[in-house]
A and B are shown apart, each in its own frame.
Chain A
Amino acid sequence: MHADDLTATAELLCAAGLLEQGCVTPADALLEPWARLHGVVAAIEGVAHVDGHALALRLGLTPRFPGRLPTVFVLDARLHGRIPHVFQHGHVCYQEYEGVLLDRYQPVAVAREALARAVETIRRGLTGENRADFIEELALYWPGAAEGLGFFAADAQIQPILRFVLPWAGTFAFVRDRAQARELLVAPMPLRVPEVMAPLEAWFDDTVTPGLYIPLEDVPRPPDPFPLGPWTRAQVAQLIRHNLSDGQRRRLEQLTRGLKTRSTFVILRVPRPRGGDHLVGIRYDDIRGAHPLARATGSATMTQFRVERRDPGYLVPRGGGEPPLRAKRVLLVGCGAIGGHLAGELVRCGVGHLTLVDPDVLRPENAYRHVLGAPSLFVLPAKSLQLAAEIQQRYRGVEVSGLAASIEDALDQGAIDVTRYDLVLSATGDPNVDRGLNERLHRLEHRPPLLFTWLEPLGIGGHALVVQRSSPGCLDCLFTPHPLDASPVLTNRAAFAAAGQVFTRELAGCGNAFTPYSSLDALRTAELAGRLAVEVLGGRLRETLLRSWKGDGAAFHAAGLRTSPRYEMEASALERGGADVVAAGCKVCGGR
């Protein structure tokens, strides 16, 4: 909205009686910092009655109003920072913008409701009802700048941690130990030879500072009065000591004994009343005498700072992943178009350990359907190794390893022990490899769930089958004709393509045959398999189950290919999946 129009809107709001003694804020006031900071170009001010008090308020409009919320300010400076959600310049944070839908055709109604919510926020602050919100939003109230990235696992134990300078980021990194620091330092290095490693180790030694990670158990009450601006050493010490268990207190005393450095730091974990937690930091410099948190005399300067969290324990749930999957180990066989997408998605879902097995190198022909794109012009590592390195670099704290071998060789040579995994997932798309794997694993007494995924040509569909010990059926059941089938042929019963057709194409001569499908087909199949994998790993699915997605068939039919009776089934039923995979007479599982 244009500034003139906004002024007109402001007049309209005044006329609507939103505030007592309401008037339009003079133009020169709109040049002050409060207005510039919040992009306010028009405002009204007046009085509202809150819990018996008459409070002067201001309602500011930005050019995007009413497509954006108006800003509300408390003009009484004594309240600034005194009650939760009232910040600098009296800015009242009465509503998160995320997830809000505004009635863009009713500016007066939007402003009236915004004001009502702001007044309610102030009222709860004045009565002390929302005092816990200081803790709920501690990171917002914690003074100081962001000083680094936290990579260590923020768990329940008080422990020593380290801080060092990340050379290329120009910021601090907070890590569990030297090994984790080394992992971060070498990540961008193409070669890990001693010539590269030695200077990095030296850099670490030069910049490292020991510190402590202290997870508070619970903070039932915020300090009273709540510190406005920088806290004192005593206030910080009190917050820590009042919110530790006896055991933690003893451990803290042990760990603060005999401090030898002049500088140290503490990263505090503060649980939020409504779930989740904050990490906030305290830096101590010029330490003389004992550790500033020890029960002994000494002096130090104290600076508060904020931490940007990079630990998977925080990032995984924030990204919609499942924290319990951190402990799960997945063996992914096949790093092609489906496997490439799957590897990344499994990690993003929270899987903490991934082993990738594929002997092939990335081929330029598949650049437009592989997650890694075109191969490098210089080196051609196997897809499994390249993919593992890519994921490892993007997702710290996840264990990803690659093995450039066929699964048959890896098993024959003992390079892989499948019983060490919680799920074996095959995305080779090669039914012969998959059937071999199915038979091999079926013989094992303690075999993990086995998930096969593959797609069919020209966007006709894709499938994911999970085979689990607790219910009958296996992959070979799909290749076992129904006993009553009067004309049995060798085919996959799950196929959408009718049996007896040829689907591969050739761009050149021998060895160039390929199956036509797109990256989107692979992505959709990977999604189907990924969701199934997460359900299995999460323990929510314990039966053998086949799920499929089917495409519109336009390209498939246009190519003169025929679909099977299965393709006629409802798409929703196919995606929901069927457990009736088992076939009597299956040579691997015997239909049991």
Chain B
Amino acid sequence: MNFDSFGEFLAMGGHGFYVWWSYLLTAVVVSWILVWPLWRRRRFFEEQRGRLRRADALGQQTEVESNAPET
């Protein structure tokens, strides 16, 4: 351990302001990078669920490109 007390750890030898702002900013950006794809994915499933439900209620065949490549 490089620091003698928790207070010294927070102070970072007088550079605490810069160090902790950098790490806070990184935490925010990294969280956004990880959450954004998941959030988009959830929204996609919600939209599709709504679309399929409406189609089922109308008793319609869900429109699917039957000739779309299956690969």
A and B: bona fide binding partners = no
* Residue positions of A touching B, CB distance < 8 A: none
* Residue positions of B touching A, CB distance < 8 A: none
